[in-house]
């Protein structure tokens, strides 16, 4: 028995020692106050280096040291300590720490900063909001989402340009569109590819929206000063997606298909081709007008006349196909992201299309300790097919909108091959789609290399190099027997663009007691080269052989320029006790386009913010958890001078009927515009003050900004000179202009539960612009379709207006018709009174829904579809064409008008007065509606898919424009240039679309 007791005791001791020798594990789950799991929370054993992080479900496992204290910490949550007394599992609920819940945003030069500490206004839009809009051009995807930003589409044709302006126009004649920056590298966004009437393509359309992680809009000079004079108009910071470290390869695929129906102007369908109520057949009697017989009573060949809905017959349902495949992953020291997207868009006008193939790759790795490099390459191939738009005789849209409902436009040709036309001077639209084409092919490369070296924990040295290189091949062909060019025409245009950008940046961030100091010092070098070879051939000698060498007359021109700029910049941010921040920025630029004595110029900004919520009592902080007041002042140069603008060049001439070169002899004369060799960049001075607040643990956030911006030394490229000087005009630095405005941004989370959430964003902006001076006593200058007047907003509409008496009553002639005043005047203002946007996002379990409205109050539009239509008798309003007595006063007698006139006479008189076609552009637009469903992950466990989702999206589903009779009040028919705004004139209509998409991850 004694031996047995010894043996049993020994076995028990061994078992105890075995159990004691094992390493126990403690597991747990971390959730927030709503019970949702929190991934990425650090779990450490206090006093040791042992630690882990919670997974995507908030679960963690860590060595059980008994006794011990576990420390739970993470960004946006209060640190929590839990005593461990041998438990096997622990459940932890973390609460949000509003003081540390900082939103990290990408600012100038790609520097990431806490939005809480910014001293200027910026607004971020996430990448999923961009892709959710289903817009091929990412500029359009921003519409209605950012305060202070106005976006205008030029046309509904595939690949057409869109204009983006921040805080109003800065320059009278220079570029007013925001600078585009991708991963820290400025890129070109010029409008190119237009070889005939109508808009081109803004080159940011080459970028695939599916690779965008976020877009941050920098609005004022204090935010953009580091970009030098190129950033004076505001900056759009685009950050692309990156791979993930310690992640197995993940393959994602998305596919979408959309259908587009054009938004058409209001056209009458009651009256036939003809004049004064008499029917014309368009064969034996030709005319351009539809003032003929009533269709309900008209008989042709003994049969009731057929009504042809010309728009419905001509425009087709547009289709867009988008397919994207992506690969994401990485190891312990590197990550990668690859993406390929094919977009194929068929326009609503036959033969028009836009195809884009993009390939993007980004690779990041840690070469050695403290040295990280990132390389990315974005390649795009786009092919755009268009037809002429606008006023051109070749424009098919013009003829469709003005064609009579009594005439069948098909077939397009007669038996002898000539065009079938009901009128003279314009091509048959169906003939155009088969015989006139404009093609643009672009190949573009955007490589970026970034190296970050951290020799000290508070010091980072960055070298970033990037390039923007593209070639564009454009070709325009117009077959024989065209109305505008009966002998045919061929145009070849080949362009090359190369821009190289290099930044060397030293960034230091160090704390000194209660102060935290961040200092950035850098150098920038940018070189830009552009060349274009343009050949115009008239007279096709071999039908169907569209080689310009076969043209009977060819005129060739070549253009090129090379510019360089060098800049040195410094920024310092001083933070005292996390409640007061001072930011100082300075930049010293030198550019090759200016004269030596003006070549270098300094500018900068000073800004401060005061976070007053740090001093709130607990009771007040529970209601208003965040409050910040910021003030800034900046002065920046605006790069408004093009290359070689200081020179007065020699130009090819046409003297009488002789155009040089003539019979092998070149002929040049010095330009009639004298250039000023002492021109300097425009200067923009801006004051900004803003208030940012957060309520109820940031469930409600309000940001209000006021800015006052003045442009000085504005360049006027053509001011009249005395002919005795030998020149007609000269360029001067003399204009001044101001923009004042208020921006409001409201973010709210009205409902947040375990299964349901509602996020709401509202933005509002009100901008007032005024031209302060032009040149000496000069009070007006022209600018395309709009004009510039001292004391008026930039871009008013000027032209003929109705004659009126002192009381404002219309004057009529003895025939009873109103007439134009002897003097022209201002008849409209293209600037809106205010703009606003509302975005709602709802989530219920696996379902999601979003919809957005945007609104514009005011902003006049010159509706030329109606204007020319008044003569033709095609607008819907002309259906009321009975006799009438115009409410007015006879200009001869001074008595009320009593003379009756016909509807045709009344509207054809209105056609000659510009005032009659100015319409208020106020609108409310249901911009986007999206419904989505993501399959539960549990349902996919036995499948190869990690995620699977579907989405249905509608765009432009409803538009309320009570004073506008066109299709869409948000377009500007001739492109994105300053002088093309506020006009609606026979461009391809924009569309209402429905999109279905599928996204899955392997």
556-609: pLDDT as tens digits: 889 999 999 999 999 999 999 888 999 999 999 999 998 888 888 888 999 999
What pLDDT, on the 0 to 100 scale, is given for residue 388?
92
Pick left, alpha or beta for residue 995 (phi over 0 → left; psi -120 to 50 → alpha; otherwise beta).
beta
Question: To the nearest 10°, the Cα dihedral for 423, 426, 429, 430?
Answer: 80
Give me the mean pLDDT over the 652-670 stretch: 81
What pLDDT, on the 0 to 100 scale, is given for residue 12?
44
CA 909 vs. chain centroid, Å, equals 39
List of residues 6+ apart from 776 with CB closer than 8 A: 734
Is the previous residue joined to 801 through a cis bond, with omega within 30 degrees of 0? no
Give me the mean pLDDT over the 259-268 stretch: 95
Residue 796: how many other CB atoms lie within 10 Å: 22
**Per-residue DSSP letters for 593-627?**
TS-GGGSEEEEEEEEEEEEGGGG--HHHHHHEEEE
Pick left, alpha or beta for residue 246 (phi over 0 → left; psi -120 to 50 → alpha; otherwise beta).
left
pLDDT bracket for residue 653 (50, 70, 90): confident
What pLDDT, on the 0 to 100 scale, is given for residue 599?
87
Q: How far apart are CA 667 and CA 653, in angstroms?
A: 6
What pLDDT, on the 0 to 100 scale, is given for residue 712?
94
What pLDDT, on the 0 to 100 scale, is given for residue 208?
94
Q: How far apart are CA 313 and CA 308, in angstroms?
A: 8
Q: How far apart are CA 70 and CA 762, in angstroms?
A: 42
Report the percent of the chain where pLDDT is more than 70.
97
Residue 982, classed as helix, strand or coil, is coil
The answer to whether residues 583 and 520 touch, using CB atoms and an 8 Å cutoff, is no
What pLDDT, on the 0 to 100 scale, is given for residue 14?
41
The answer to whether residues 744 and 704 touch, using CB atoms and an 8 Å cutoff, is yes
Block residue for tokens 């206004």: 121
**Per-residue DSSP letters for 178-218?**
PEEEETTEEE---EE---SSS--EEGGGGS-GGGEEEEEEE
Question: What is the phi/psi pair of residue 137, to 5°?
Answer: -100, 120
**Is the pLDDT assigned to residue 978 strictly greater than 50?**
yes
**Is the pLDDT assigned to residue 739 strictly greater than 50?**
yes
Which residues are registered as beta bridge partners of 451? 373, 463
List of residues 6+ apart from 513 with CB closer than 8 A: none
**Per-residue DSSP letters for 776-823?**
TTB-EEEETTEEEETTS-SSEEEE--B-B-TTSPBEE-TTS-B-B-SS
pLDDT bracket for residue 8 (50, 70, 90): very low
Question: Alpha helices of 332-428 — where are they, by DSSP H?
Answer: 396-402
Residue 161, classed as helix, strand or coil, is coil
Which residues are registered as beta bridge partners of 574? 517, 582
Residue 772: how many other CB atoms lie within 10 Å: 14
pLDDT bracket for residue 56 (50, 70, 90): low
Tokens of 779: 């009070």
The answer to whether residues 676 and 732 touch, using CB atoms and an 8 Å cutoff, is yes
**Is the pLDDT assigned to residue 964 strictly greater than 90?**
yes
Residue closest to 906 by CA, chosen among 887, 925, 934: 887
Q: How far apart are the first and last CA of the chain?
A: 67
Tokens of 764: 């509002």
What pLDDT, on the 0 to 100 scale, is given for residue 112?
83
pLDDT digits (tens, 9 = 90+) for 280-334: 999 999 999 999 999 999 998 889 999 999 999 999 999 999 999 999 998 888 9
**Is the pLDDT assigned to residue 97 strictly greater than 70?**
no
Q: Residue 203: how many CA atoms within 13 Å on its side-chain side?
A: 27
If 0-12 CB within 10 Å is exposed, 13-18 middle and 19+ buried, where does residue 106 land? buried
Give me the mean pLDDT over the 451-459 stretch: 92
Pairing of strands 756-773, 729-752: antiparallel
pLDDT digits (tens, 9 = 90+) for 393-444: 889 999 999 999 999 999 999 998 889 989 988 899 999 999 999 999 999 9
Give me the mean pLDDT over the 204-228 stretch: 92
Question: What is the phi/psi pair of residue 35, to 5°?
Answer: 90, 5
**Is the pLDDT assigned to residue 498 strictly greater than 60?**
yes
Is the previous residue joined to 618 through a cis bond, with omega within 30 degrees of 0? no
Pick left, alpha or beta for residue 706 (phi over 0 → left; psi -120 to 50 → alpha; otherwise beta).
beta
Question: Is the pTM here over 0.85, yes or no?
Answer: yes
The answer to whether residues 181 and 890 touch, using CB atoms and an 8 Å cutoff, is no
The secondary structure element, H or E, covering residue 10 is: helix 2-21
pLDDT bracket for residue 701 (50, 70, 90): very high
Mean pLDDT of the chain: 90
Residue 553: how many other CB atoms lie within 10 Å: 10
Buried b (16+ CB within 10 A) or exposed e, 579-599: eebebbbbbebebebbeeebe
Residue closest to 472 by CA, chosen among 292, 254, 203, 833: 203
Q: How far apart are CA 469 and CA 461, in angstroms?
A: 27
pLDDT bracket for residue 662 (50, 70, 90): confident
Residue closest to 228 by CA, chosen among 181, 173, 167: 181
Residue 50, classed as helix, strand or coil, is coil
Helix, strand and coil content of the chain, in percent to the nearest 5, comes to 10, 55, 35
Block residue for tokens 């009570």: 962
Report the percent of the chain where pLDDT is more than 90.
66
CA 852 vs. chain centroid, Å, equals 17
What pLDDT, on the 0 to 100 scale, is given for residue 528?
96
Beta strands in 682-795 (DSSP E): 682-695, 700-720, 729-752, 756-773, 780-783, 786-789
The secondary structure element, H or E, covering residue 868 is: helix 864-872
List of residues 6+ apart from 181 with CB closer than 8 A: 187, 227, 235, 236, 237, 238
Buried b (16+ CB within 10 A) or exposed e, 906-938: bbbbbbebbbbbbbbbbbbbbbbbbebebeeee
The answer to whether residues 42 and 58 touch, using CB atoms and an 8 Å cutoff, is no
Q: How far apart are CA 971 and CA 151, in angstroms?
A: 9
Q: How far apart are CA 968 and CA 984, in angstroms?
A: 9
Buried b (16+ CB within 10 A) or exposed e, 124-149: bbebebbbbbbbbbbbbbbbbbbbbb
Angle between helices 903-910 and 864-872 (to 10 degrees): 140
What pLDDT, on the 0 to 100 scale, is given for residue 75?
60
Tokens of 817: 């018709």
Residue closest to 988 by CA, chosen among 203, 494, 268, 354: 354
**Per-residue DSSP letters for 473-498?**
EEEEEE-TT-SS-TT-EEEEEEEEEE
Pairing of strands 811-812, 889-890: parallel
What pLDDT, on the 0 to 100 scale, is given for residue 247?
84
Pick left, alpha or beta for residue 273 (phi over 0 → left; psi -120 to 50 → alpha; otherwise beta).
beta
The answer to whether residues 831 and 856 touch, using CB atoms and an 8 Å cutoff, is no
Give me the mean pLDDT over the 814-834 stretch: 95
Tokens of 39: 């991934």
What pLDDT, on the 0 to 100 scale, is given for residue 601?
86
By residue count, the chain amounts to: 1002
Q: What is the DSSP letter of 987?
A: P
Q: How far apart are CA 797 and CA 918, in angstroms?
A: 9
């Amino acid at each position: 028995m004694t031996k047995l007791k010894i043996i049993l005791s020994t076995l028990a001791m061994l078992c105890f020692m075995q159990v004691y020798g094992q390493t126990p594990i403690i597991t747990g789950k971390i959730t927030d106050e709503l019970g949702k799991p929190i991934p990425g929370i650090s779990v450490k054993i206090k006093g040791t280096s042992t630690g882990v992080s919670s997974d995507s479900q908030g679960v963690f496992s860590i060595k059980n040291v008994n006794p011990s204290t576990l420390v739970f910490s993470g960004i946006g949550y209060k640190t929590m300590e839990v005593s461990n007394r041998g438990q096997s599992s622990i459940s932890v609920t973390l609460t949000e720490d509003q003081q540390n819940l900082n939103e990290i945003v990408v600012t100038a030069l790609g520097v990431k900063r806490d939005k809480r500490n910014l001293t200027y206004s910026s607004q971020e839009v996430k990448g999923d909001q961009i892709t959710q809009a289903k817009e091929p051009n990412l500029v359009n995807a921003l519409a209605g989402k950012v305060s202070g930003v106005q976006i205008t589409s030029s046309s509904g044709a595939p690949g057409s340009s869109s204009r983006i302006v921040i805080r109003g126009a800065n320059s009278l004649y220079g570029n007013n569109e925001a600078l585009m920056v991708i991963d820290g590298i400025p890129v070109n966004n010029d409008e190119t590819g237009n070889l005939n009437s109508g808009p081109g393509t803004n080159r940011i359309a080459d970028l695939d929206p599916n690779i965008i992680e976020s877009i941050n809009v920098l609005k004022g000079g204090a935010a953009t000063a580091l970009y030098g004079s190129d950033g004076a108009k505001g900056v759009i910071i685009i950050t692309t997606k990156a791979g993930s470290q310690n992640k197995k390869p993940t393959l994602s695929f998305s596919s979408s298909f959309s259908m587009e129906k054009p938004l058409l102007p209001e056209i009458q369908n009651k009256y036939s081709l003809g004049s004064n109520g008499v029917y014309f057949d368009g064969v034996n009697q030709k005319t351009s007008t539809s003032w003929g017989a009533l269709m309900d009573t008209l008989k042709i060949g003994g049969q009731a006349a057929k009504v042809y809905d010309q728009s419905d017959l001509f425009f087709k349902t547009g289709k867009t196909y988008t397919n994207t495949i992506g690969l994401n992953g990485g190891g312990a020291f590197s990550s990668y992201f690859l993406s390929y997207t094919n977009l194929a868009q068929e326009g609503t006008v036959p033969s028009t299309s836009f195809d884009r193939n993009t390939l993007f790759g980004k690779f990041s790795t840690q070469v050695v300790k403290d040295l990280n490099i990132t390389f990315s390459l974005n390649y795009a191939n786009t092919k755009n097919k268009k037809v002429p738009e606008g006023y051109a005789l070749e424009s098919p849209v013009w003829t469709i909108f003005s064609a009579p409902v009594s005439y069948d436009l098909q077939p397009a040709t007669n038996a002898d091959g000539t065009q079938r036309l009901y009128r003279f001077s314009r091509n048959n639209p169906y003939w155009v789609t088969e015989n006139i084409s404009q093609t643009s092919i672009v190949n573009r490369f955007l490589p970026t290399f970034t190296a970050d070296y951290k020799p000290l924990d508070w010091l980072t040295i960055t070298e970033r190099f990037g390039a923007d290189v593209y070639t564009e091949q454009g070709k325009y062909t117009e077959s024989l027997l065209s109305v505008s060019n009966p002998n045919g025409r061929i145009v070849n245009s080949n362009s090359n663009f190369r821009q190289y950008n290099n930044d060397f940046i030293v960034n230091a961030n160090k704390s000194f007691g209660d102060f935290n100091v961040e200092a950035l010092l850098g150098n920038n070098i940018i070189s830009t080269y552009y060349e274009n070879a343009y050949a115009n051939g008239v007279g096709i000698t071999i039908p169907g052989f569209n080689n310009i060498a076969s043209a009977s007359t060819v005129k060739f021109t070549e253009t090129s320029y090379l510019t360089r700029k060098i800049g040195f910049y410094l920024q310092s941010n001083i933070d005292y006790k996390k409640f007061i921040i001072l930011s100082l920025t300075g930049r010293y630029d030198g550019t090759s386009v200016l004269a030596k004595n003006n070549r270098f110029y300094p500018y900068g900004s000073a800004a401060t913010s005061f976070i007053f919520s740090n001093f709130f009592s607990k009771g007040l902080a529970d209601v208003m958890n965040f409050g910040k007041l910021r003030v800034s002042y900046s002065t920046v140069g605006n790069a408004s001078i093009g290359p070689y603008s200081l020179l007065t060049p020699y130009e090819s001439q046409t003297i009488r009927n002789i155009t040089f070169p003539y019979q092998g002899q070149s002929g040049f004369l010095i330009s009639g515009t004298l250039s000023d060799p002492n021109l300097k960049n425009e200067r923009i001075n801006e004051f900004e003050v803003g208030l940012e607040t957060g309520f109820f643990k940031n469930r409600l956030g309000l940001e209000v900004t006021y800015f006052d911006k003045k442009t000085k030394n504005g360049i006027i490229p053509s001011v009249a000179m005395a002919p005795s000087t030998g020149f007609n005009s000269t360029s001067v630095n003399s204009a001044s202009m101001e923009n004042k405005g208020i921006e409001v941004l409201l973010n709210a989370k009205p409902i947040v539960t375990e299964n349901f959430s509602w996020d709401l964003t509202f933005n509002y902006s009100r901008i007032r612009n005024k031209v302060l001076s032009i040149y000496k006593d000069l009070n007006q200058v022209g600018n395309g379709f709009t004009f510039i007047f001292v004391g008026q907003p930039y871009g008013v509409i000027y032209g003929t207006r109705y004659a009126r008496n002192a009381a404002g009553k219309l004057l009529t002639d003895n025939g009873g018709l109103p007439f134009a005043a002897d003097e022209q005047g201002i008849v409209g203002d293209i600037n809106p009174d205010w703009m606003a946007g509302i975005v709602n996002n709802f989530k219920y379990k696996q379902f999601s829904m979003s919809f957005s409205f945007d609104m514009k109050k005011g902003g006049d539009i010159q509706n030329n579809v109606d204007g020319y239509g008044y003569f033709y008798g095609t607008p819907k309003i002309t259906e009321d064409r009975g006799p009438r007595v115009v409410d007015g006063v006879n200009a001869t007698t001074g008595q009320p008008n009593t003379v009756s006139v016909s509807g045709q006479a009344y509207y054809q008189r209105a056609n000659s007065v510009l005032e009659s076609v100015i319409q208020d552009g106020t609108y409310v637009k249901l911009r986007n509606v999206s419904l989505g469903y993501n399959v539960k992950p549990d349902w996919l466990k036995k499948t190869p898919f990690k995620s699977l989702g579907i989405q249905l999206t509608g765009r432009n589903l409803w538009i309320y424009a009570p004073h506008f009779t066109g299709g869409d009040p948000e377009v500007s028919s001739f492109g994105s240039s300053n002088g093309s705004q506020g006009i609606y004139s026979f461009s391809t209509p924009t569309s209402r679309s429905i999109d279905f998409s599928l996204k899955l991850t392997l």
